[in-house]
Amino acid sequence: EPEVTQTPSHQVTQMGQEVILRCVPISNHLYFYWYRQILGQKVEFLVSFYNNEISEKSEIFDDQFSVERPDGSNFTLKIRSTKLEDSAMYFCASSLTDSTDTQYFGPGTRLTVL
Amino acid sequence: AQTVTQSQPEMSVQEAETVTLSCTYDTSESNYYLFWYKQPPSRQMILVIRQEAYKQQNATENRFSVNFQKAAKSFSLKISDSQLGDTAMYFCAFTLSSGTYKYIFGTGTRLKVLA
C-alpha cells in the first residue's frame, strides 16, 4: 500500500539555522499538508498546498515558514531561522482530493532546536 | 471555532476485551467529517475509521466501530476483541466538509492492550 515518507526522521539544529524537512506524498495525491505536534500537545495544522500554491495556512505559519514542491515527487517545509519553540514533531500528509477526502500521514520528523 | 476533546489521556484493556475511547467536539456547522487515527509506537498515523456527519448510520470497520451522536457532538470509538497490536495512541479528528483543508485533532488517548 502506498505510504507518505518523510526524511530525516530526526533533525537536530542550532537556534537561528535554517532547516528543510522533506516529504514524499503518495504519488497520485494532489493536496499536501504539514502539521506539527509539540511534545505533550495537540497535533496542529500548519499549511495546505494545492496546484503549486498555499491554499490555507494557520496563524502558526508565519514568514519564517515556507513550503515548496520542487519536483513531481517531493514536498518540503523550510524554517528559515529556527527558534527553540520550533522543536516539535512535524507531520506531512497528502490526500487525493480536498478535505472531504482522507489525509494520509507520514511518520514524522522530530525537530530539536538547541 | 471548532474544537476536539479527548478526555482520557490513557487507557488499558485486557486482550480480547472491549474498550471505548471518548471524543467530543464543538462546532456550529452541520456538515463535517470525523476520523479516528491510530499511531502505533514510532509509526505513522493510520486511519482507523471515518464518519460523515450527514450519515446517521454509525461507521464500522471490522473490530472497530463508532457511536456517533450528532446532537450530543460525541464520537466514541469502540474496539472489540482487543489485540496486542491495537496498542497505540488514538487521535480523534474533525474537518468541515467545505471551506477548509485542515484537520483539528484531539490530544489523543494512549491505549495499552494487556496480555
Q: How far is A112 from chain B (nearest CA, A)?
A: 17
Can you name the residues that pair with A109 across neighbouring β-strands?
A: A90
Query: Which chain B residues contact residue A105 at CB under 8 A?
Result: 37, 44-46
pLDDT of A70 = 87
State the cell numbers at A73.
515527487
* Overall number of domains in chain B: 1
Contacts B96 to A, Cβ<8 Å: 99
Residues of B in contact with A61 (CB under 8 A): none
Contact flag B101-A107 (C-beta cutoff 8 Å):
no
Question: How confident is the model at residue B2, as a pLDDT?
Answer: 86
User: Percentage of residues in chain A with pLDDT exceeding 90?
Assistant: 83
* Number of Cβ within a 10 Å radius of residue B51: 19
Whether residue B43 has pLDDT greater than 80 = no
Residue with cell 522533506: A22
Average pLDDT over residues A23-42: 93
pLDDT of residue A2: 82
Predicted local confidence at residue A99, as pLDDT: 67
* pLDDT value of position A109: 96
A68 in reach of chain B (CB within 8 A): no
Spans of all domains in chain A: 5-113
C-alpha cell of residue B29: 456547522
CA distance B103 to B47: 13
Q: What is the CATH number of the domain that holds B52?
A: 2.60.40.10
What are the chain B neighbours of A44 within 8 Å (beta carbons)? Answer: 105
Mind spelling out the 3-state secondary structure of chain A?
CCCCEEECCEEEECCCCCEEEEEECCCCCCEEEEEEECCCCCEEEEEEEECCEEEEECCCCCCCEEEECCCCCCEEEEECCCCHHHCEEEEEEEECCCCCCCCEECCCEEEEEC
For residue A41, what is the nearest residue in chain B, using CA coordinates? B107
Which are the contacts of B62, defined by CB distance < 8 A and separation ≥ 6? none
- A38-49 confidence digits (pLDDT tens): 988 889 999 999
Residue B71 clears pLDDT 90, i.e. is over it:
yes
Among chain B residues, CA nearest to A43: B105
The reply to whether A100 touches chain B by the CB within 8 Å rule is yes
Range of the domain at B18: 3-114
pLDDT value at position A112? 97
Across the interface, whether the CB atoms of B102 and A31 are under 8 A apart is answered no
One-letter-per-residue 3-state SS of A72-90: CCCEEEEECCCCHHHCEEE
Residue B18 — very low, low, confident or very high, per pLDDT cuts 50/70/90?
Answer: very high
Nearest CA in chain B to A54: B101
Contact: B44, A48; criterion CB under 8 Å: no
How far does the CA of residue A65 sit from the closest CA of chain B (Å)? 17
| Fold (CATH) for A5-113 | Immunoglobulin-like (2.60.40)
CA atoms of A97 and A12, how far apart (whole Å): 34
Nearest Cβ partner for A99 among B45, B50, B95: B95
The residue written with cell numbers 460523515 in the block is B52
Q: From the centroid of its chain, how far is CA B94?
A: 10
Map residue B85 onto helix, strand or coil: helix
Q: What is the mean pLDDT of residues B27-50?
A: 91
CA distance B113 to B115: 7
pLDDT at position A68 over 90: yes
B61-66 CB contacts, 8 Å cutoff, 24+ apart? B64/B36, B66/B34, B66/B36
